[in-house]
Structure 1
Amino acid sequence: MRLLLIRHAETRGNTQHRMLGQLDELLSPHGVLQAQLLGQFLSQQSWRPTHLYSSPLQRTVITLEMLVAGYPEGDDFPLIQTDEALLEIDNGIFQGLTWQEAQEQHPELCEQLMNSQEVIPIPGGETLSDCCDRTYRFIHTLYHTHQSSDRVWVVTHGGILQYLIAAILDTPMIWGINIGNTALFEFEVALPPASQSKPNPQLCRIHRFNECPHLARDQNNSSGMGKFRCIDGE
């Protein structure tokens, strides 16, 4: 099974470095351009999806719709399946705030988070275990409901992406990767037989990891778009 994980395109909240969490936002004008460029790039690749998954939030669904729109008109694409397992991490009382605003409103908690080596839960938010459980279930449901020939796109969020990657790599470690908007992670997974729960580790491959090839300048492009970069955000 080919599995392409994609972070949604930029929103206004991303440019303001807000911890959006599960708040709903539309794409920024620059985010629309990012999604268009990625759609054009993917349409030129050697494989196209047989299944489409997205977080229910608008910034992911719209990104995925724009990626599909980048393919030649008339292509028959599968319907988008939304899954709450792909929602961004619930940031609790930090949701919608910048880090500076969080420090102003919750100074003691922010100081603990910066200085403690322990995992400190955010009041009202999801725990590490919550995020691990739902992403593990989602990935292993894919393993047992898809065929080896399937090509799956998953559009989701920068925070929860790190847990999805940990589930694919079968590691308890969450590495804190800086994932830009529309970044790509492409995996080839040797699906396990019905009698086993995990893929064959010797037959799995990573083809892309946190890449934005569609945002690099094309030297032969005369459109004047210039160079675009992945923008880190929340």
Structure 2
Amino acid sequence: MRIVIVRHGQSVANAQGRWQGQLDYELSREGEIQAEKLKQRFIREKFAPDLIYASPLKRALRTAEITFPEKKVFTIDDLKEGGAGVFEGKTMDELRVEYPEAVATFERTRTFNTVPESESRYDLRKRAKTAVDFFIKGHNHDDEMAVFTHSGTMMFIIAVIMGTSRVWSLRIPNTSVFDFRIDPNSWDAVDPIGGMRQGARSFEIRRFADATHLHLQHGP
């Protein structure tokens, strides 16, 4: 089984330096160009997935539609970005004025645990676990799929696939590609956080935060 996970293209909020969370921003013009470059990359690589899934948020869904214009894209709510609470829609400069204590704690810990109204780490991992479980258990063993989601959610999806409770703070450029080959027979439905561990005992990482296509010239 092959699961290719992609971060959405640059959004309007990305361009403005604003936290998005679950606010529904459109792609910027640059984001559309990034998605087109991703499309050309997959054409060159002859990657034609059997199924395409995306977060219903516009920035992820539109990236999927540009990348695979002739294929149906199925949306999954569990692929939405983690809720960033009062950070959503704000720049860091604005937040330092409005929520200085929350910002100071966040910059020290890099977690949203103390950000008012944010989604908990446990709930975000639970969503990631549900999504990965569906991808692996709900499909044929030789299926190939593309999954378009968000950087925060991706970090938890990666942790679930790798069967670890540790979540790394990764730099994930827009339209980055993570390419996993997974043996579904090795899937272990046990989660380390909730008392049941989840992970693939046999998997291969072919691409990890690969955005080399962004350096190619776009257009004639």
| TM-score normalized by the length of structure 2 | 0.89
Instruction: List per-residue Cα deviations over 1:131-151 (Å, max 9, x = no partner).
Output: 111101110121111111100
Aligned to 2:212: 213
Matches within 5 A, 1:175-194: 175-192=168-185
Greater Cα offset, 107-116 or 127-136: 107-116
Paired residue total: 212
2:103 equivalent to 1:105: no
- Specify every segment of 5 or more residues in structure 1 that has no aligned partner in the other structure, as ranges: 70-74, 224-234
Shift of 1:159: 1.3
Structure with bigger gyration radius: 1
Could you tell me how far 1:11 is from its partner in structure 2?
A: 1.2
Secondary structure of 1:192's counterpart equals helix
The separation in 1 between residues aligned to 2:109 and 2:169, in whole angstroms, is 16
1:130 and 2:123 matched: yes
CA contact (8 A) 1:189 1:199 kept: no
* CA–CA distance in structure 2, aligned partners of residues 117 and 166 of structure 1: 17
Q: How does 1:218-229 map to 2 (within 5 A)?
A: 223=220
Shift of residue 80, structure 1, vs aligned partner = 1.4
Give, as a single letter, the amino acid of the residue that structure 2 aligns with 1:2: R
Q: Distance in 1 between matches of 2:204 and 2:99?
A: 43
Q: Distance in 2 between matches of 1:119 and 1:37?
A: 33
In structure 2, stretches of 5+ residues that fail to align are 190-197
Q: Secondary structure at the match of 1:152?
A: strand
**8 Å Cα contact 1:35-1:66 kept in structure 2:** yes
- Distance (whole Å) between structure 2 residues aligned to residue 25 and residue 116 of structure 1: 27
Q: 1:109-188 alignment to 2 at 5 Å?
A: 109-115=102-108, 120-188=113-181
Aligned to 2:15: 15
User: 1:92-130, CA deviations, whole angstroms, 9 ceiling, x for partnerless residues?
Assistant: 111111111111101122223334698733211101101
- On the 8 A contact 2:19/2:87 being kept in 1, the answer is yes
Which amino acid is 1:204 matched to?
Answer: F
Percent identity, please.
29
Secondary structure class of the residue paired with 2:5: strand
The alpha-carbon deviation at position 200 of structure 1 amounts to 5.6
- 2:32 — aligned with what? 32
Give 3-state SS (helix, strand or coil) of 1:44's partner.
helix
- Which stretch of structure 1 is more off in the superposition, 99-108 or 178-187? 99-108
More strand by share: 2
